Each structure stands twice: as C-alpha cells, then as structure tokens.
Chain A
C-alpha cells in the first residue's frame, strides 16, 4: 500500500512546535498520598498500588486544576466544562507560542487540525481559540476526536496530506489533552489506577507549511504511513459511562509494539530506499516504560535513541497525543539535527493502530 508521499523538495515542512503545560505541578509521591485514602476504601494491599504508580517512572504531572479542586468534579458535565475552559486556555497559549516561533501570524493560517481524546466541545476548541487569536474568516477546521495517543502523529500526517494538495498553505496541528479531567475517582480498577499514575496534561501546536510556501525551515514531512491492526478494539480506549470516560487499557500494548513495529517501520523505510540504520532521529510517543522499552528492543535502537521520550515521560508523564509533539519540538530546537538527516515519528493508539511519519532535515 503506498505511503502518503511527495518528492523531498516539494514536501511540507514543520516550521515550529509550541508546547505548554498547565501550572499546577504535583509530584508522583504527592499524588500517591492523595490517592492512598481512596484506594484503601476498596483495596487491602495499598502498597501494591503505590508500587504500580511508581513503576510507570513518572516523576510528576502538571494538572489542569489545583489538586484539591478535583474532588468536587463528580459528574461528566463538571469535568467536561472544566476541560473546555482549560483546553481553550492552553490551546491559545500554544498557538500563540508556535506562531511566534514560526514568525507567522494568525492571519497566515489556512487550516487548523485540532486533536484530542480527553473532552468534547461543540463548537470545538479551535473555534474558541479562533475567537481569541483571530484567524481569518476563511480558515478551515478539522477537529479530530478519538484517535488517542496516536493522534499527534496522525494529525501531523493528515495536515501534511492537506498541504500536498494546497502547497502554498499553512496548517496548525493542535494536540490538547487534559487526562486528569477524565479521571474517574470512583473507578478503583487496576487499569484506572495505572492510568492515573501515567497520564498527564499538556498541549502542543505544530506549524506546518506546504512545499511551495516561503520560509522553508525545519524538517520536511517526506511521507507518512498508517497501519491498522484488525480485531484489537479492546486493547485501549474509553468505555463512555454516565460520569465520563472510563479507561480501557490492556497490558497487550507493549506486545503489540513488539509484534508489529519492526515490520511496519522496515516496510515504510524500505519504500523510500532506507533502513533503520539511516535514521538519526527517533521521535517516539512516550507510551510508558514498557512501550518505550518495546520500541528500543523491536527496532534494535541504541540506548540514547529515545532519550528525549524517556525524559519527557519522567518529567510530565504520558500526555496522550501531545507527547510526541513535545518530543518533536525538543528535537527541532536541539542541536543534533543536521541538513540531510532522516527522522521517524511514531505512535500507537486505540484501534489498535500505528502511525509513522518520515522526516528529512
């Protein structure tokens, strides 16, 4: 199956990535202390749950609200209203920051892709952001809900597809995830307890321009590839319940990576005459320690290859779709990339599925 691709020189390029975290930082130990009493209402061996929280190797999270405010959020409406307020605020911040870094203005934006899986809004968040930053009246909107962790890469790939059709245009990909506002406190199942230890809040915005737009700077999106794994609906997702989103999380995720990612990456690279050894920059979604380990083992990567992903996981947790854009932003702004370097972005998410993007600096 062909990738979405065009010649390297006419490919869209990623000009900048803005990133922002909410202001309410809480260490993992503070979170464990906050949860302990609740866990003890149902679970006998609370130490086991504390160990599960520590095993995800996350040092702390930036929360959308002060930690004491979460107790009052009991219904879906309360959680989602808080989500809309915080998501709009954070998205505006990353849009302004990303456009500043790209030396562009809101009037330069032709299309906004907004991805999330942690809240719902109509009008969607990019419309609310438009009222604050004033995009042009003819800007196009594509809100994407439900792709989960894969959406950072998928959103970027779909924006690049669009820019191949409109090569003079500029597109934004906003990924805003406030996982803390999905937390079902009363769900004391093990998957939910693990999720409450792993997922954090954050937002990122990538600025992409078509291959014929002026000011080429940053890596080009040479190609992308989606891979769908049939009959894996219960590997990850939400069960939508009266109180909101109840997490579906299976331990099969790292196994899916081990089983599939090597073949997926090798075929994708092979179509472009490349092999894994040609790739200098691996921009991987920070799924969790087992997922990152599975990436490293399956792709036979050197120890430092995923260092940015490991560091992001340790510092802020898994930010769902925004995570991979955080890692991309840090790679773009770091000293390592040189003209001619190849990079691969990769993420997996509910479906179950994978998305890969081939970058060239």
Chain B
C-alpha cells in the first residue's frame, strides 16, 4: 500500500473503533461486509467519515468496485489526489 493509502487505512481504523463500536482488528484484506460486518448504516458512517477527513465525495457508483478495506483505501487515496473540480455556486 502507498503512503496515502496507509493514511486512509488509519482513518478507517479510527472510524471503526470510535464511531462503529468495532472492537476487532481492521486489516487491508478484510471484506467490509463479511469481516467488518458493516450494514448499510455502517457503510454510510464510514463513507461520511472518509469524505470529511479527505474532503472528497463518494457515490453509489464508486461502491461498485469496492469489496475490501484495501479497495476502499485505494479509491479514497486516488480521489483525494485527483484535482478537485471547481464548485459552481449560483
């Protein structure tokens, strides 16, 4: 994992412990649903926490290719590194 992916992994671990009452370990190979037992609310809490920390937006389509903690860390690191589209405000 790259340095930025490790940074995302650390944030995933923090959210799991602090906000999702998860007392087990969180490893890159862990399946979000099967190993971390995340339900729809848990996934939303995780997504919102990552969006806040890395100032990104994640969508339903993003979730398609994401199964493990490592998949999620890679997606978030890529999104955080991408040039931000300027927000258009009326």
Physical interaction between A and B: yes
CA distance A49 to B58 in the complex (A): 13
- What is the count of residue pairs linking A and B with beta-carbon distances less than 8 angstroms? 40
CB neighbours (8 Å) of A249 from chain B are: 41
- Given A43-B52, A44-B57, A45-B51, verify A234-B21 contact (CB < 8 Å): yes
Given A43-B48, A48-B48, the answer on whether A252 and B39 have CB atoms closer than 8 Å is yes
Given contacts A44-B57, A45-B57, A189-B19, are A250 and B51 in contact (CB under 8 A)? no
Q: Are B39 and A250 in contact (CB under 8 A)?
A: yes
Residues of B in contact (CB 8 Å), total 16
Whether B2 is near chain A, meaning CB under 8 Å from some CB there, is no
B44 pairs with A190, CB closer than 8 A? yes
Q: Mark B31-52, 1 if CB is under 8 A from A, else 0.
A: 0000000011110110110011
Cα distance A42–B49 in the bound complex, in angstroms: 10
Q: How far is the CA of A52 from the CA of B48 in the complex (A)?
A: 12
Which bracket fits the contact residues of A?
Answer: 10 to 19
A-B contacts, 18 listed (Cβ < 8 Å): A42-B52, A43-B52, A44-B52, A45-B48, A45-B51, A45-B52, A45-B58, A48-B48, A48-B57, A49-B48, A190-B48, A191-B41, A194-B41, A234-B21, A251-B39, A251-B40, A251-B41, A251-B42
A-B contacts besides A250-B41, A255-B39, 5 pairs, CB < 8 Å = A45-B48, A45-B58, A48-B44, A48-B57, A251-B41
B interface residue numbers (CB < 8 A to A): 19, 21, 39-42, 44-45, 47-48, 51-52, 55-58
